Structure 1
Amino acid sequence: MMQSPLPVAAAVAANHCEMLRARRSSPAELVPDLGRAGERLASSLGEQLAEFFGEEEPTIRCSGAETTTSATYARLTAPLAAHSLLGLGATKHRVLISIDARIVLAELDRTFGGTGDIDDDDLPAALPKSAELLARKIEQKLVDAFTAAVGGDCALRNVGGNSRYSLLSPFPEGEDLAVLTLEVDRGDRTPWTIRFETDVEGLPVLLSQGGKGARGVARQPASPLDKPFADVPLPVEAQLVDMNIPLSRLAALAPGMVIPVAVARSVPLRIGDAVIARGTVGEMDDRIALQITQTLVSGKEQQ
């Protein structure tokens, strides 16, 4: 007698949504996305940098993004550059912005009546203080524009800088890097370079996988020192006098009357109904001033 095979339940076809079925890109596959972000950056950066070039808008071209190693990048970068090392959120990843020092030195030279022609033979051993200050202003413009170009979802914070790449050592030797290169063209000299460099493994965080944020990545908490929060105006009141006056006396008020008041030893500083600090009244530059003696932090008085 032949045995019939045991019945087997038909398999239920999986029906996943496209978001679950889509394969997450590997970090190296995101290098072209960095290049496309560079194109967006180049199209908007000229107008933002015009204030540093005598209101003349430079032409910015994106040379694309490529992969390299830290040792190779050290040979690529200019002999003297304004390097700014940025932390990427709360992660261990870093972004390095490198500005050809000739950009900064040329603009300083023009400011003081020079031609702005800076050759490699004219480069100093290190950027002077005035050039460093100008470089920091340019770098802030670059950080804001770069953040917008990659989607505005990454939190970049400054963690250091140096005019010599070898002294900065931003990445371990031999680490795979993604480099985005921009050319700044003034039309009358060899184009200068601005480079953005990050470790390849940090690209998913930097590009935020299409603005959704990298899964499992801790995000930097918002700080009141960062824009746009830092520019929000808040009305602050110092309550110098707190007194009670009978209604009969208020009804009898007339010009010339004197009401004695006593300023409290500890004057509260308020935002709305919340006391944020206390202080003592004094004088500074012929104006009444409040010297803070206590601040309210996390619900506790700090002296």
Structure 2
Amino acid sequence: MADQLAQDLAVLLSNDRLNVKVAEPEWLSGTEVLGRIGPVAANSLLRVGVTGVTALLSIDFANAIALTDRSFGGGGRTASEVPERLPRSAALLVEEAATMVAGAMARIANHGHAGLAPQCPEGEVIIRSESAARLRPFAADALCASFALEIGDNDGCQWGAMLAIASDFIDPLLPDPAQAATASRKPDAGHTGVKVVTGSFGTIPLSLHAVLAEFDLPLGRLGTLAPGDQIPLVPARHVPIKLGDTVLAYGSIGTLDDQMALRLTRLPEERLLK
């Protein structure tokens, strides 16, 4: 979701390269969520895609105005003093940003639901209000997951927001919810220090790749490559298994049921799964 939002929100900020972080959830009651937001903020009630669930996105006035300033070419710095009412330009930008957040959530939620047409519904803003309580996003005693969103640019500016979702709506928002019951795993006692993701979040698919070999090729040779050319490869003794640029483990090449396989041989000492 963070990667998706970094791409989508860049359109609002002159196509700047953004860095978006979505923190791990903090579990609060509905009353506690509204208390964190306060009596006045730029609040949007979102409807998320084919699942039809709702979520609350809240941005305080200082961050909303700073984002608006950045979208018009300003520095995007948050001011210590903010007006009592949100300017129309800031309200419009918040609604666009909220629609993008709802859309990113919808694309993730719709992923893995079999039979969905390409034009399946995405996210939308149902209603906005400066009072989060007036939107009635969840019951006062409901258990909610509160996610802190942090948006940053290359100039060192950072803007924050809060996304709150009732716990009953978490599973429908995740890919392949039908497999959630089989996703829980117990930590291996021999691998202390590694955080094992369990429950609903364990169903999120991650793309790993094993680097069998790496080689250097002169630019001139690269330009003359043609079908039929042969390039000798020397497989690594310890093949790295990566998530993006992060090495999660090392393995040796072998076979399993007449297919190529990797036997894990080593885990990096500072491996950390989030």
- Is residue 51–residue 109 contact of structure 2 (8 Å, CA) maintained in 1? no
The alpha-carbon distance between structure 1 residues 175 and 116, as it changes in their structure 2 partners (threshold 3 A), is same
Q: Which residue of 1 aligns with 2:129?
A: 162
Q: Which residue of 2 aligns with 1:137?
A: 96
The alpha-carbon distance between structure 1 residues 174 and 189, as it changes in their structure 2 partners (threshold 3 A), is farther
Deviation digits for residues 196-227 of structure 1 (CA, Å, limit 9, x no counterpart) = 222112223333653789xxxxxxxxxxxxxx
- CA drift of 1:156 comes to 4.2
Q: How many residues of Structure 1 are paired with residues of Structure 2 in the alignment?
A: 172
Distance 1:203 1:61 in 2: 19
Distance 1:90 1:53 in 2: 28
2:93 matched to 1:126? no
Which of 56, 78, 94 is the matching residue for 1:96? 56
Distance 1:89 1:56 in 2: 27
Distance 1:50 1:91 in 2: 26
- CA drift of 1:139 comes to 1.5
Give the TM-score normalised by the residue count of structure 1.
0.48
The alpha-carbon distance between structure 1 residues 184 and 65, as it changes in their structure 2 partners (threshold 3 A), is same
The alpha-carbon distance between structure 1 residues 52 and 189, as it changes in their structure 2 partners (threshold 3 A), is same
Which 5+ residue runs of structure 1 have no aligned equivalent?
1-40, 214-303
Distance 1:79 1:185 in 2: 26
- Is residue 100–residue 192 contact of structure 1 (8 Å, CA) maintained in 2? no
Deviation digits for residues 163-211 of structure 1 (CA, Å, limit 9, x no counterpart) = 2323333222121112222211235556322332221122233336537
Matched AA of 2:17: E
Matched AA of 1:158: V
Pairwise CA RMSD: 3.2
- Higher-Rg member (1/2): 1
- Is residue 99–residue 123 contact of structure 2 (8 Å, CA) maintained in 1? no
- Is residue 17–residue 154 contact of structure 2 (8 Å, CA) maintained in 1? no
Distance 2:73 2:123 in 1: 36
Distance 2:142 2:95 in 1: 27
Matches within 5 A, 1:192-207: 192-207=159-174
- CA drift of 1:42 comes to 0.7
Give the TM-score normalised by the residue count of structure 2.
0.52
Distance 2:170 2:47 in 1: 13
Between 1:72-81 and 1:128-137, the stretch displaced more is 72-81
The alpha-carbon distance between structure 1 residues 160 and 150, as it changes in their structure 2 partners (threshold 3 A), is same
Secondary structure of residue in 1 paired with 2:23: strand
Deviation digits for residues 29-70 of structure 1 (CA, Å, limit 9, x no counterpart) = xxxxxxxxxxxx112221221122222122111211232111
Q: Which residue of 1 aligns with 2:26?
A: 66
Q: Which residue of 2 aligns with 1:47?
A: 7
Between 1:67-76 and 1:102-111, the stretch displaced more is 102-111
Distance 1:90 1:146 in 2: 11
Distance 1:203 1:179 in 2: 11
